[in-house]
Amino acid sequence: MKIAFVGLGTMGAPMVRRLLGAGFEVTVHNRTRAKEEPLAAAGAQRAATPREAAAGAEVACTIVNDAPDVRQVVLGPDGLAEGLAPGGVVLDMSTIAPAAARDLAAELRARDLDFVDAPCSGGSEGAQRGTLSFMVGADPETLARVRPLLEAMGSSVTRVGEVGAGQLCKAVNQVIIAGTYASVAEGLALAMASGIDAEAALEAISGGAAGSWGLVHRGPNMLKGRYPLGFRARLHRKDLGIALDAAREAGVPLPLAAWVEQLETGLIRRGYGDEDVSAIARVAREAAGIDRPGVRADDDPDRT
């Protein structure tokens, strides 16, 4: 199958490699064109514009930063919609607002093009290994057409409803990460500040009802005050903003997610936005006097 792929960042580039490995004919385009080069060396075709990339393709994939970028790439001048033949599908894997996804789908439908929102979780590591989880909003027939692509890039493909539902599911995912990480951070701050063997405590509770991916995979570094990527705090805050807007629209209060979004806003202002989202532990550690505010734990000469 011939496909177009626009957006060759830390997620997109390894996803293209997975598609090439699975035998798809991929034509790539990226705003910073140099990023196309390593993929061309791996077997992709290059195109000067999204429209050119989409010429002759059955499916056009996008994974870019936010809704205006998706709109530009899909519906802008020289966009994918101009290159796709009628009946083509736009498969957007960016994380954008559910309403933006529905708007895009409506505009594409008017041009006899289909749309699938398939945001994913699993990060750049999941993209490299092909173990992403896709949360899909689409009618079942359209999903069936793009499923082989999604299965080449991920290990889990779940349809959660019509267009926009994938983005809502991603919002749910980010909301739960927010509170789960914050509670892990709070509990571990208590462990550290109260003088017990915090590493042993983490191990003792990981297998029980307090257990979570965040506790097991981010807890040990939270205890050290280190927050290597992972997933950037500033991107998580962007996603929480989408979730909070969508929830407000649905009339759903999210007090926990709103609180974490506020804490992340402070962390980003202080220069920690490119740390992993588990840097939320800075807040609990500083509040408990484990770190001095403004001092990175690993740089603090007074740290004992």
- In the bound state with its own copies, the residue whose beta carbon lies nearer, of 67 and 198, is 198
Query: CB under 8 Å to 183, separation ≥6 — which residues?
Result: none
Please give the size of the binding site for its own copies, defined by CB under 8 A: 71
Q: Which amino acid is at 142?
A: T
Separation between Cα atoms, residue 1 and residue 187, nearest integer Å: 50
Cβ–Cβ < 8 Å for 137, 144 = no
Token reading at 209: 């009802």
Cβ–Cβ < 8 Å for 102, 246 = no
Q: At what angle do helices 98-109 and 67-75 cross, to 10 degrees?
A: 10
Separation between Cα atoms, residue 89 and residue 59, nearest integer Å: 5
Q: In this chain, which of 208, 299, 301, 302 binds its own copies, going by CB under 8 A?
A: 208
Residue 67, helix vs strand vs coil: helix
- In the bound state with its own copies, the residue whose beta carbon lies nearer, of 113 and 182, is 182
Separation between Cα atoms, residue 286 and residue 175, nearest integer Å: 23
Neighbours of 129 (CB within 10 A): 13
User: Which residues from 264-283 bind its own copies, rule CB under 8 A?
Assistant: none
Q: Is 2 a catalytic residue?
A: no
Token reading at 5: 């792929």
Q: Considering only 56-64, 77-85, 99-107, 214-222, which stretch makes contact with its own copies by CB under 8 A? A: 214-222
Q: Considering only 45-53, 61-69, 89-97, 206-214, which stretch makes contact with its own copies by CB under 8 A? A: 206-214
Query: CB under 8 Å to 68, separation ≥6 — which residues?
Result: none
Separation between Cα atoms, residue 279 and residue 286, nearest integer Å: 11
Q: In this chain, which of 42, 55, 152, 193 binds its own copies, going by CB under 8 A?
A: 193
Separation between Cα atoms, residue 157 and residue 163, nearest integer Å: 15
Q: How far is the CB of 191 from its own copies (least distance, A)?
A: 5
Exactly one of 2, 35, 170, 224 is catalytic; which is it? 170
Q: In this chain, which of 111, 224, 252, 266 binds its own copies, going by CB under 8 A?
A: 252
Label the pairing between strands 120-121 and 89-92.
Answer: unpaired
Task: Using the Cα atoms of residue 186, residue 187, residue 189 and residue 193 in order, give the sign of their dihedral.
Answer: positive
Q: In this chain, which of 73, 75, 153, 201 binds its own copies, going by CB under 8 A?
A: 201
Separation between Cα atoms, residue 280 and residue 256, nearest integer Å: 13
User: Which residues from 62-121 bind its own copies, rule CB under 8 A?
Assistant: 98, 121
- In the bound state with its own copies, the residue whose beta carbon lies nearer, of 96 and 201, is 201
Is 225 a binder of its own copies (CB under 8 A)? no
User: Which residues from 17-36 bind its own copies, rule CB under 8 A?
Assistant: none
**Interaction mask 148-187, its own copies, x per CB under 8 A:** --------x-xxxx---x--xx-xxxxxxxxxx-xxx-xx
- In the bound state with its own copies, the residue whose beta carbon lies nearer, of 12 and 122, is 122
Q: How far is the CB of 14 from its own copies (least distance, A)?
A: 17
- In the bound state with its own copies, the residue whose beta carbon lies nearer, of 83 and 119, is 119
Is 128 a binder of its own copies (CB under 8 A)? no
Q: How far is the CB of 89 from its own copies (least distance, A)?
A: 21
Q: Considering only 59-67, 87-95, 141-149, 199-207, which stretch makes contact with its own copies by CB under 8 A? A: 199-207
Token reading at 26: 């991929």
Q: In this chain, which of 57, 246, 268, 279 binds its own copies, going by CB under 8 A?
A: 246
Q: Give catalytic residue positions.
A: 170
